[in-house]
Structure 1
Amino acid sequence: MSEILFDNLRAENNRRRAADNREIIFMEEEDASNDIDAVEGLPKVISVDLQARSNALKCNCERFELVERKDGRSVIIRRGATLTLDVTLNTSPDLKTDHKLGLIFSFGQNPNVPNGTQVKLDVTGEQTFNPDTSLWDVRLVTQTGDTLTLEVHVPAHVMVGIWSLSIEASLQSNPKDKHVYQPEETMYILFNPWNKDDDVYMPDDEERNEYVLNDIGKIWRGNWRKNKARDWNYGQFDDAVLPACMYLMENAGLRPENRGDVVLVSRAISKMVNANDESGVVYGRWDGDYKDGKGPSHWTGSIAILEQYMTRGRPVKYGQCWVFSGVVNTVCRALGIPCRPVTNMRSAHDTDMSLTIDKFLNEKGTHILDISEKVWNFHVWNDVWMARHDLPEGNGGWQAIDATPQERSNGIFQCGPASQTAIKFGRTELNYDVNFLVGEVNADVITWQQDPKEKLGFRKIRENVDDVGRELITKAPGGMAFGDQDKQIINDLYKAPEGTEANKQMLKTAASKSRTGRVAFDFPDQPVEDVEFTLEDIEEVPIGDDFSVTATAKNMSDSTRTIWMKICSSSEYYTGVRAERIKWVANNITLKAGEEEQFTLHVSYAEYFDKLVEYGMMMVFSVCHVEETKQVWFKDDAFQVKKPMVDIELPSTAAAGKSMLVSLSFTNPIDRPLTRCSVTVDGPGLTRPKTVQLKDVAAKGEMRYEMKVYPKRGGRRTIIAAFNSRELVDLTGSQNVDVIEA
């Protein structure tokens, strides 16, 4: 499939070049009846060797599979580097007195010199480069008879994508008659984080290796108290990926001359990976209904998604934030932009940009009127590394971009790049979408109660300043470690510690620039009330087990208090949207001064299992009302039902090119069979993504499946598995293996 993709892309590129150049041989005279061979002594280019392998090696591009294709190599280099090529002519050229040789590099459909999408270089025989590295230049390295070895300096600011090359040969005495040669190879020029003059320059070797070259990684999901990583195959070197990236850039509406600006390119990526506005890669869906596509939990990496997108010519169904982030990471790393997924545990979706998440209770405080704004259990976006010349000094480095279609930015579902520094200090006036990111990591959660005596009809009864942005997680640089050993908490990059004066001042500064924010933060807090309430926290519940949750009321006053208490449980999507109510209990209690009483909700496995949705997220909340003082207390808590991991058994070592047995297994934890079972296996350098349909798994029985894979490359490799069925979805596992080159 990927071979067809590449061939189609190359054919399209050749068609464009033919349309631009019209003829392979140019005769400036109107009367072109004389054959070009009749021009005595006219030099011709016989062949060009673009040295795909050696050019890729010196640019850290040798792992791209397109470089090694036997049916037509691609030349992949990075800007700021040099391109070496051998040009062979039909004669031994004398560039000083007799012959002219010119190189023309073109980008886009209508290249021209003024906007930088076309460059014309004369090979004069000069053997040194122009000291001004901001300019294209060519130098003669050696000449052996009719073969010239040339080096071309590619500036660090040029457009990123497919460039075409034409080579013109003529006589100095008759420059109008010339022979033009066009190499068949497709030439990709990428961003260069190794070059100090490139805006994506990253000085640390270990970080470059992780954020540009690592083709597998981890994306954390779950609840902030208990979360785990899911391995993801970025596969940026697969031969389907670069053609897909070029297709995305073509469809992004980004002018060719702007495709060297990493700010605009990364913003375009955030737009094009979702399919809401343009012909983007992935449709998002969060309601669990995936019958006309593939559920997000079935994906193990980006390769299958991008390949399906290209071959079918339409967006892929379906993804969610962590899938969008995985694809963004692939596209960015393929293009040379340092990139990493970031998971925000307890992520606010602030629709009105007030920097608050508002919950509304009725006048008695016994029922919830509205929670239209949500706090997601987790949300995943990406950090990209770049200079920001468009912002005040100090705002470069990591920038947040988000392809999940939550809110429109400039009328389109896109987000970022937003400077981490700007987010941390509340600089919401800076581009792009800083205000939304500040809300995601730092919004206050405010509970309001209906009160006709108040000017706005509600009074603030509770403000939680530390519920949002509990943990911001990414994978640390280095190899794939077991479990959470490579988990890196980066809260300090996005926010000052909760409760500190710096954090409070940042929120006030940011809120002061928003009308809705001023209303929420200026509203007076209510005085502390005299009954103390707590709700038990639950980290996780193994699937198949019952659970209980307890609320406690303690009367801290000198008088009797009459209290109405309610505890409710429901399943919910990870976005904070309630799926189904499971069970609730309510009771009236009377507490004398100093007394304490507990109130418990018991939920059995039979009561909750059929109401679970993907990822097994659960929500419990308690609402309490004190009759004498009208005190209202509200608390909610999310946790996750734990599913088994897929155990992967591999040999300790394997040999490249030889079969390796992979054994997958787990024990069904529920008292019913698993039907419509499938498993997807994936791993860069081991196997391309494969999905296999499996037989049913008996109730409390064992699932076991064996398959052979054929490692392609040596080194430490990781294999990923994802099991899904009608009854249980999103069971995953991974394992490392050392592959020895044969």
Structure 2
Amino acid sequence: MDEFTLRNVNLQQVQNQIRHRTDGLSSSTLVLRRGQSFTILMNYDGRPFDPLKEKLVFRIVLAGPLFVEVPVSMSGQPSPSQWSAILERSAPAPNASRTMSVSLFSPASSSVGVYTLHLRVETRLSVKTHLLGQFTLLCNPWCQADSVFLPSEDLRDECIRNDIGLLFKGSPGSIVSRPWSFDQYEKGILDICMKLLQMSPQYQSDMRKDLLNRNNPVYIGRVISAMVNCQDDKGVLMGNWSGNYNDGVNPSNWSGSADILRTWSETQFRPVKYGQCWVFAAVMCTVMRALGIPTRVVTNFNSAHDTNGNMVIEEFYSEMGKKLSIGRDSIWNFHVWVESWMKRPDLGQGYDGWQVLDPTPQEQSAGIYRCGPAAVKAIYEQKVNAPYDVPFVYAEVNADVHSIIMRDGKILATDVDKKRVGALICTKRPGSMLMQDITSEYKTEMMDRSSRMFSADVRGGEGANGRVAPQGIAVSLQLLKAPVVGENIIFNVTITNREAIPKLLRKHVNAQNKEYNRNPTGTFWEAHDDLEIGPRKTVTVKHEIIFKEYMQKEFMEDYLVNLAVVIEDMKSQERLLASEEFNICSPALNIQIQNENSVIINMQQVATVTFTNPFNVAVSGELTIAGSGLLEEKVQMRVTIQPRETMRSPVRFIPMMTGAKMLHASLVLMNLSTVLRGFKTINVQEA
């Protein structure tokens, strides 16, 4: 009878990837999750397989000397702690060739990486080795034994499988929802994420140690946090907060991760120019989701950057209300990081769950620009000695703010605010395009949020951000409506005399442009006047800043203003400060789908982007429409819209994937130096 001869092997990519929930991930290899079995089919010729005469041994190679040999057993259960291979069935096929089905199992503690699969066939007469192919092994949040196991199906869908999201920017009282396409299913993106691990200094300096450590999501998180920025390595993104992006891309122009990751890969791993905090975080979210680690993007409004670790941020103002650039500490209007879900056995009981990871290069952690994973529970419990970087993140959400009025180097007045930092911490709500407030997961003392958030008709970053001086003067600032690009900024200054004697006061109001991550630049508007206020009286002064006075020459998406008023008591020389930081919103684009409730895979659909120009001047710019799984390539067109004219731009698209997808549009205006955005989520159904 003929000798047993292996003819071919089928890795059953489609079936295995559906079972492993990796369907849709694009890779040159089979993509699997650890802690779960996968099945391969082997066709052979000759006599039936006889385990007494043939021995089958799989060799699973991670790299070089790191491999495991797994003999095929005839029966039994896989061991949870080691690789195993079990013969499922052996049956003749109709065409006279024979088929064997073998189930291979990887332990839940396996390293993430690209493996090579070999099969050795040992018979009485020969030993033959066959190369079967490669597979990429990811973490498995569906497997209870995995250190990234997440019990909630809703959170697994959101934080692993969802490829669309919202990034929240602006200020606590006027939140801007920014659409982002994570793009983990885009062609080649998973392979680039694996390459990112391979380009890390840890892998380059000690490949064996790095690969063995890759079984631990804590280690992976630290590597990725460092590799998303390029400060210490051949990382993905270069940060730039200068306002000059001529030799790269303005961070505000990115709308998805695939363009960034592909650019990095195609330029032989040169850093992509440029990123800011939300871009760093969104790219890290893509990489972590692709690797199978549940991850969500989080925004901290009024985020402290405490450079000296004293948990105090000092802000300095002139007696005229101008904010001064003194000291290295700062408060970012918003700062964006990610949280990843994992066990923390290194911290003891009670610290599993969400961990802060921050790839924006702010400060070094163990000599490298990275941050985390810092257990959210440890931040909440103020365990500032817990690794990694808990003190830094704790200060970002809890630092005290000391506002100091100065003249000629002398302190005229000081005020302490314990509630401003970490005013709101939020993320995208699972399964919807709404915001979820998670402040209470970080902070024990919940502030009176009503004073921070806009009411329906009156908007002001901290509502009436009032201060009371020792001598009984109170002052507050209040925006009368939400500022919108193209419109005037209207606000009230309200002063109350709480004493029984009249007072002569001097009022200084100052407005400065600012970027979200630093102190403001020069004053663009100011007002100074004297006023007399009677005993126990309140005076309200209305101010209006016209559009031309705050309009920027350079394009800015995060159009932020620092507004401050200093009230000086002419008799006592005492001074009182009230300040407000707010963003000026851009009008939104509208996207309508022709047959919104019957969008079917592989069938052409039409979307129309509309916008009515509210400005008194014609606007022109470039309109870009993109959508992962909907459009193969971005659609770009030049548009000019007259005052009060409505633009209607139809776009044809053919959905390539089922599920929730997002079409997003941006219009970068040239003559108004702003960007307009809109997005529409689309539920693509099976045919």
| TM-score (ref. length: structure 1) | 0.82
Q: Which residue of 1 aligns with 2:83?
A: 136
1:466 corresponds to 2:419: yes
Q: Which amino acid aligns with 2:108?
A: A
What SS does the corresponding residue of 2:141 show, helix, strand or coil?
A: coil
How does 1:523-672 map onto structure 2 within 5 Å? Answer: 528-537=470-479, 540-610=482-552, 613-651=556-594, 652=596, 653-672=598-617
Q: Could you tell me whether the CA contact under 8 Å between 1:343 and 1:378 is conserved in 2?
A: yes
d(CA) in 1 for partners of 2:635, 2:222: 33
Give the Å deviation of 1:76. 1.1
Pick one of 28, 51, 66 that aligns with 2:12: 51
Q: 2:148 is paired with a residue of what secondary structure?
A: coil
Whether the 8 Å CA contact 1:446–1:460 is kept in 2: the answer is no
Instruction: Give the Å deviation of 1:739.
Output: 3.2
Preserved contact between residue 403 and residue 414 of structure 1 (Cα < 8 Å): yes
Q: Which residue of 2 aligns with 1:183?
A: 132
1:579 positional shift = 4.1
Partners in 2 of 1:401 and 1:298 — Cα distance? 24
> Where do residues 114-513 of structure 1 align in structure 2 (5 Å cutoff)?
118-123=67-72, 125-130=73-78, 132-144=79-91, 146-171=98-123, 178-184=127-133, 186-254=134-202, 255-313=210-268, 314-361=270-317, 368-372=323-327, 373-449=329-405, 461-478=414-431, 480-481=432-433, 486-498=434-446
Assess, with a 3 A threshold, how the Cα gap between structure 1 residues 715 and 385 changes in structure 2: closer, same or farther.
Answer: closer
**1:103 aligns to 2:58 (yes or no):** yes
Greater mean alpha carbon deviation, residues 136-145 or residues 82-91: 82-91
2:664 aligned with 1:712: no
Provide closer, same or farther for how the CA distance between residues 371 and 633 of structure 1 changes in structure 2, counting only shifts above 3 A: farther
Q: 1:334 to 1:741 in 2, by over 3 A?
A: same
Structure 1 residue 375: Cα displacement? 1.7
Evaluate the alpha carbon distance shift between residue 719 and residue 275 of structure 1 in structure 2; reply closer, same or farther with a 3 A threshold: same
Shift of residue 229, structure 1, vs aligned partner: 1.5
Change (3 A) 1:192 1:568: same
- Tell me, what secondary structure is at the counterpart of 1:614? coil
> Deviations for 1:678-717, whole angstroms, at most 9, x for unmatched residues?
2222223212451514143345544332221111133443
Tell me, in whole angstroms, the C-alpha distance in 1 between the residues paired with 2:504 and 2:119: 90
What's the CA shift for 1:44?
4.8
Aligned 8 A contact 1:304 1:689 in 2: no
SS of the equivalent of 1:293 reads coil
- CA–CA distance in 2 between the matches of 1:315 and 1:577? 27
Distance, in Å, in 1 between the alignment partners of 2:608 and 2:313 is 46
Which amino acid in 1 is paired with 2:636? V
1:143 Cα deviation from its structure 2 partner: 1.6
1:536 aligned counterpart, secondary structure:
strand
Shift in alpha-carbon separation, 1:407–1:537, aligned structure 2, 3 A: farther
CA distance in 2, matches of 1:698, 1:288: 29
Q: What residue number does 2:456 align with?
A: none
Structure 1 residue 245: Cα displacement: 0.5
Structure 1 stretch displaced more, 222-231 or 586-595: 586-595
Q: Normalized against structure 2, the TM-score is what?
A: 0.89
Q: Secondary structure at the match of 2:346?
A: coil
Q: Please give the alpha-carbon distance, in whole angstroms, between the structure 2 residues aligned to 1:542 and 1:44.
A: 74
Specify whether residues 93 and 271 from structure 1 end up closer, same or farther in structure 2 by C-alpha distance, changes over 3 A only. farther
Q: Distance in 2 between matches of 1:499 and 1:696?
A: 46
Match of 1:732 in 2: 677
State the aligned residue count: 651
- Structure 2 CA distance for partners of 1:527 and 1:637, relative to 1, 3 Å: closer
Which string of whole-angstrom CA distances, capped at 9 and with x for unpartnered residues, describes residues 274-295 of structure 1? 2222222222222332222222
Letter in 1 for 2:14: R
The answer to whether residue 35 in structure 2 is matched with residue 80 in structure 1 is yes
Offset of 1:267 from its aligned partner?
A: 1.5
Residue matched to 2:464: none
Query: CA 1:150 to 1:405, structure 2 compared with 1: closer, same or farther past 3 Å?
Result: same
Q: Give, in whole Å, the separation in 2 of the partners of 1:252 and 1:340.
A: 23
Secondary structure of the 2:552 match is helix
C-alpha change, 1:492 and 1:368, in structure 2 (3 Å) is closer
Shift of 1:741: 3.1
1:16-68 CA deviation, whole Å, 9 max, x = no partner? Answer: xxxxxxxxxxxxxxxxxxxxxxxx998653311111111111111122244xx
Q: Deviations over 1:544-570 (max 9, x none)?
A: 222233323323234454433211012
Instruction: Structure 2: state its 5+ residue gaps.
Output: 93-97, 203-209, 449-467
Change (3 A) 1:698 1:537: closer
> CA-to-partner distance for each residue in 1:334-375, whole Å, 9 max, x for gaps?
11111111111221222222212111356x687655454222
Question: Residues 664 and 213 from structure 1, CA distance in 2 versus in 1: closer, same or farther, beyond 3 angstroms?
Answer: same
Query: Identity over the aligned pairs, expressed in percent?
Result: 28
Cα distance, 1:99 vs structure 2: 2.0
Equivalents in 2 of 1:416, 1:691: separation in Å?
38
Change (3 A) 1:426 1:669: same
**Superposed displacement of residue 415, structure 1:** 0.9
8 Å contact from structure 1 (residues 580, 611) kept in 2? no
Give structure 1 stretches of 5+ with no counterpart. Answer: 1-39, 67-72, 113-117, 501-525
Distance 1:581 1:538, change over 3 A: farther
Larger displacement relative to structure 2 (334-343 or 625-634): 625-634
Per the TM alignment, residue 467 of structure 1 is displaced from its structure 2 partner at its CA by 1.0
Name the SS for the 2:641 alignment partner. Answer: coil
- SS of match in other structure, 1:390: helix
Q: Which moved more, 1:555-564 or 1:419-428?
A: 555-564
Q: For residue 527 of structure 1, report the CA deviation from its aligned partner.
A: 8.8
Change (3 A) 1:669 1:691: same
- Range moving further from structure 2, 414-423 or 237-246: 237-246
Deviations 1:59-80 (A, max 9, x none): 11122244xxxxxx63111000
CA contact (8 A) 1:240 1:303 kept: no
Equivalent position amino acid for 1:155 in 2: P
Equivalents in 2 of 1:548, 1:587: separation in Å? 18
Does the CA-based 8 Å contact 1:339-1:384 persist in structure 2? yes
Distance 1:392 1:450, change over 3 A: farther
> Partners of 1:336 and 1:203 in 2: how far apart?
14
Q: CA deviation at 1:417?
A: 0.8
Q: CA deviation at 1:729?
A: 3.1
Task: Tell me the distance in 2 between the aligned counterparts of 1:127 and 1:723.
Answer: 62
